[in-house]
Amino acid sequence: MPELPEVETTVRDLQKKILGRNIKDIWTDFQKMIKKPRDFKDFKKGIEGRKIENIRRRGKNILIDLSGNKTLLIHQKLTGHLLLGKWKKKGNIWLPPPGPLSEKVNTYIHLLFTFDGGQQLALSDLRKFAKAELLNKDELKKELSSLGPEPLDKSFTFENFTEALSRPRGKIKQVLMDQTVIAGIGNIYSDEILWRAKVHPFKEISQLSEKELKNIYRAIKKTLPLAIKLCGESISDYRTLFGEAGFFDKARKVYRREGEKCNRCGTIIKRVKLAGRSAHFCPQCQRL
């Protein structure tokens, strides 16, 4: 699933490319992807002709603010990613131009917006779990109300971090992935953050020392910006807005590196299950 760095990378590229554009047409072959309004005809009618006034991120959500006080919310979920380009329609299939957009992972297009000038924004999603919603101000506020603080905000101080972690109970990896505690961190970056902080993913929140908390906080503040700078992680389905792979793989230390040597101490990286998810860690550097 695209996490904060991947979503932020997409948002920043969208800001450069489609701000001020008018949406002329919308197509889908999977109407269940549209959650609000449920009827695709209403969704299409509510968006067509509107101008893109702002593009931003909240947690893992992409928020496209439209004229008329409406916001298009897109959550890419497990295998979805947005792409920008021009496609040609053949039957019910959109054919990409030569280049990165023609990579197989980029060809599962189920939602497509056409702008004035002919440029298009497509949502490719192999598993079809992604969602799109057209919301007014109150609906958007309600939709995002459960999300925790943004770890990249200047207001997210160490004090705010410890306050956020003072309420939940459980193992640190699970808590870091809880979107109501901190917004945007998922399976990949929780592993990477904890490796950099030298904290075992199974360690209970209540057992963390102040030093460990500071190490985790610093690791969050360093790892996420680094991942954004490298355009995210493309070990699975995620691609940038232009269909290209991100470069965080060069900086990935433990996620999906089980059986390999730890980059820091040489111990073999392990993978274990935690509440149905995988946790990757170094048993020497991250002792329980």
102 bridge partner residues = none
* Structural domain spans, the chain: 4-144, 158-281
Q: What is the pLDDT of residue 194?
A: 98
Per the annotation, the verdict on 60 as an active-site residue is yes
Phi, psi of 241 (to 5 degrees): -55, -25
Do 4-144 and 158-281 agree at the fold level? Answer: no
Q: Kindly name the residue from 44, 57, 60, 252 that is annotated as catalytic.
A: 60
Per the annotation, the verdict on 90 as an active-site residue is no
Q: What is the pLDDT of residue 1?
A: 84
| CA separation for the pair 87, 94 (Å, rounded) | 6
Q: How far apart are the first and last CA of the chain?
A: 27
Q: Kindly name the residue from 2, 5, 96, 201 that is annotated as catalytic.
A: 2
Q: Kindly name the residue from 3, 8, 133, 192 that is annotated as catalytic.
A: 3
| CA separation for the pair 36, 74 (Å, rounded) | 11
pLDDT in 10s for each residue of the chain, 288 residues: 899 999 999 999 999 999 999 999 999 999 999 999 999 999 999 999 999 999 999 999 999 999 999 999 999 999 999 999 999 999 889 999 999 999 999 999 999 999 999 999 999 999 999 999 999 999 999 999 999 999 999 999 999 999 999 988 999 999 999 999 999 999 999 999 999 999 999 999 999 999 999 999 999 999 999 999 999 999 999 999 999 999 999 999 999 999 999 999 999 999 999 988 899 999 999 999
What's the CATH code, domain 4-144? 3.20.190.10
CATH architecture of 158-281: Orthogonal Bundle (1.10)
Per the annotation, the verdict on 252 as an active-site residue is no
Per the annotation, the verdict on 149 as an active-site residue is no
| Residue 147, C-beta contacts closer than 8 angstroms, at least 6 positions apart | 58, 59, 179, 180, 183
Q: Kindly name the residue from 36, 77, 264, 277 that is annotated as catalytic.
A: 277
Strands 23-28 and 34-36 come out as: unpaired
